[in-house]
Structure 1
Amino acid sequence: MIEVHELTKRYGERTAVDRLSFAVRPGRVTGFLGPNGAGKSTTMRLVLGLDTPSGGSSWIGGRPYRSLPAPLCAVGSLLDAKGVHGGRSARAHLAGLAAANRLPRRRVDEVLELVGLDPATAGRRTRGFSLGMGQRLGIAAALLGDPEVLMLDEPVNGLDTDGIRWIRELMKSLAAEGRTVFLSSHLMSELELTVEQLIIIGRGRLLADTPMRDFIERHSQAGALVRSPEPERLREVLVAAGATVRPDARGGWLATGPSAAAIGELARANDLTLSELTPHRSSLEEVYTAMVASATEYRGRAEERGRAAGRRDTGEAGE
């Protein structure tokens, strides 16, 4: 289990993580979301003891990372797949980690097989690795100590379709064993298929800590995919009824606002023939994008009002 309480990190006048609190529980895959610069990577570095917090605390299995007697066996992490000596082979890199942590040499072969790096590839120097191969090696290193906690930053970066499917099933299987799996990614479609719990931050602050399905359902708008032999007249009718209408990649219109039943009634009332009317549920990407944009706009306006008030209090002239 990962626990974060009032965690704060400042760099001069800039606050990267601002009194952040959450818990990542075992037995499920938890996704960590936020726009670029939200503080995700900084938070992970703080939990792993790579940076010193300005305030607050973080715990893994009930104790700070730096006090873990065998860190690699307690938590496996991947923050930067390029953090490997390019002159060493994949096997030598893992063997060094195993020796330093008193792990049996056979464990190296086990994780190499698990991540799909064959003996020939494992014997090559890592400077010649593709991005996807580097990711597989980084995941192998994270799994080397057979840890109860996994923290992965953009684990699917550089993987092909088969690799993405593989990491998805691996994360689910590890969570099913009762492990704590915490991963960040910008690939929303993949997160929607993988994670059960979401932790979302913006500007270093917590925006949401919720089951993913609840998050999508709570923030989704009613809508439908609708097609007609008269697409332009259909669009005009939908817009006049207050619907937001945009083209769908599959053809037809994606209309949000009215329910599918209401759209059917509109079509009947306007003597429109429909060739398809399918209720539409918002995706994680749609809901997340709208939420983050709203939070950013709200905070931006609030901060501007605060600056304006400060200028008035100090007698500064506005622009």
Structure 2
Amino acid sequence: MIEAMDLTKSYGGRPAVDRLSFRVRPGAVTGFLGPNGAGKSTTMRLILGLDAPTGGRVMINGRPYGALPAPLREVGALLDAKAVHSGRSAYHHLLWLARSNGLARRRVDEVLERVGLASVARKRTRGFSLGMGQRLGLAAALLGDPGILILDEPVNGLDTEGIRWIRTLLKGLAAEGRTVLLSSHLMSEMELTADHLIVIGRGRLLADTTMRDFIDRNSRAVTLVRTPDTARLRTALEERGALVHPHEAGAWLVSGLTAATIGKIATEQRIELHELAPRTSSLEEVYTQMTEAAVEYRASGEGSVPRIRAETMS
């Protein structure tokens, strides 16, 4: 388990991480989300002892990272896939890591096979693609068969097959009882992979909850309606207090009434319905709405376009 308690890190008097407290528990994939500049990278560096906190503390299984006798056996991390000596082969990069942590040579072959790099094990990493570099970084994280994994953007550069493979791998590792902390800006993939979410903005905790609760509590349920008699149904629904917005392909999004109520009104008015489908917001929509005020870097005009879809549907 990873536990942060009032964790604080300031640079030049400005807090990058501000009294942050959370727990990352075993048996689940925990998504770590936040806009650029939110403090995610700093937090992960603090967990791994790469930076010293200004205040508070962070523990791994009850101890600071620096107090772990064999760190690679307890924590596997992927923060920067490019942090590899380009003149070394994938095999020898992993071999020196294994030797420095008292791991058997056979473990190098095992993880290279697991991440799909066995066929290029003896090739120098300078010729690796971005996706191959990510796989090598993941192999290094898995080398010590650790109970805790901390991964920053592990699907960056991977193709669709590789992304699905990582998703299956992380879910499987969590199912074995391991602790998995996953940071990514790819919201659609995070929604499919993570069980729990920790969301931060400007270094402070915004949410610490399950994926399902995060979406349900912060989304606005709507119903997709399609009918050949649009004008009459819209009038009938608005008379009952509903909000009706045009959607793609001639459909409408209705909020303020349940799908059952909409269907009942249509029946009473003898209005034919071609589609009546309840919907909720996606993780991307809920996350964007929640963190909008915490976005530090915004291009001119960004955020000025009305977000009808994000406010009303998935």
Q: Same fold (TM over 0.5)?
A: yes
Amino acid at match of 1:74: E
Amino acid at match of 2:95: A
Amino acid at match of 1:105: R
Amino acid at match of 1:28: A
CA distance in 2, matches of 1:182, 1:215: 17
CA distance in 1, matches of 2:107, 2:67: 24
Asked if 1:97 is matched to 2:90, the reply is no
- 2:203 maps to which residue? 204
Cα 1:95–1:274 change in 2 (3 A) is same
Cα 1:228–1:144 change in 2 (3 A) is same
Deviates more, 1:76-85 or 1:265-274: 265-274
Asked if 1:144 is matched to 2:143, the reply is yes
- 1:107 maps to which residue? 107
Cα 1:296–1:268 change in 2 (3 A) is farther
CA distance in 2, matches of 1:239, 1:190: 37
Amino acid at match of 1:223: V
Q: What are the within-5 Å matches in structure 2 for residues 133-172 of structure 1? A: 133-172=132-171
- 1:29 maps to which residue? 29
- 1:127 maps to which residue? 126
- 1:66 maps to which residue? 66
Q: CA contact under 8 A between 1:238 and 1:245: conserved in structure 2? A: no
- 2:305 maps to which residue? none
Q: What are the within-5 Å matches in structure 2 for residues 1-319 of structure 1? A: 1-119=1-119, 121-230=120-229, 241-243=241-243, 245-248=245-248, 252-268=251-267, 272-293=271-292, 296=294
CA distance in 1, matches of 2:231, 2:88: 62
Cα 1:124–1:246 change in 2 (3 A) is farther
Post-superposition offset of 1:100: 1.5
Post-superposition offset of 1:245: 2.4
Q: CA contact under 8 A between 1:239 and 1:245: conserved in structure 2? A: no
Q: CA contact under 8 A between 1:10 and 1:17: conserved in structure 2? A: yes
- Note the alpha carbon deviations across 1:279-318, whole angstroms, 9 max, x for none: 112221222222222x549xxxxxxxxxxxxxxxxxxxxx
CA distance in 1, matches of 2:235, 2:22: 46
Q: CA contact under 8 A between 1:18 and 1:204: conserved in structure 2? A: yes
Deviates more, 1:17-26 or 1:224-233: 224-233
CA distance in 1, matches of 2:27, 2:135: 23
Aligned identity (percent) is 67
Amino acid at match of 2:12: G
- Is the partner of 1:170 in helix, strand or coil? helix
Q: Which runs of 5+ in 2 are unaligned?
A: 296-314
Amino acid at match of 2:169: L
Q: Which runs of 5+ in 1 are unaligned?
A: 298-319
Cα 1:242–1:72 change in 2 (3 A) is same
- Is the partner of 1:62 in helix, strand or coil? coil
Cα 1:20–1:264 change in 2 (3 A) is same
Q: CA contact under 8 A between 1:46 and 1:52: conserved in structure 2? A: yes
- 1:308 maps to which residue? none
CA distance in 1, matches of 2:191, 2:51: 30
CA distance in 1, matches of 2:74, 2:87: 28
Q: CA contact under 8 A between 2:109 and 2:118: conserved in structure 1? A: no
- Is the partner of 1:261 in helix, strand or coil? helix
Amino acid at match of 1:56: G
Q: CA contact under 8 A between 1:221 and 1:257: conserved in structure 2? A: no
CA distance in 2, matches of 1:264, 1:22: 44
CA distance in 2, matches of 1:202, 1:232: 43
Amino acid at match of 1:286: E
CA distance in 2, matches of 1:274, 1:176: 43
Cα 1:125–1:254 change in 2 (3 A) is farther
Cα 1:275–1:125 change in 2 (3 A) is same
Cα 1:80–1:244 change in 2 (3 A) is farther
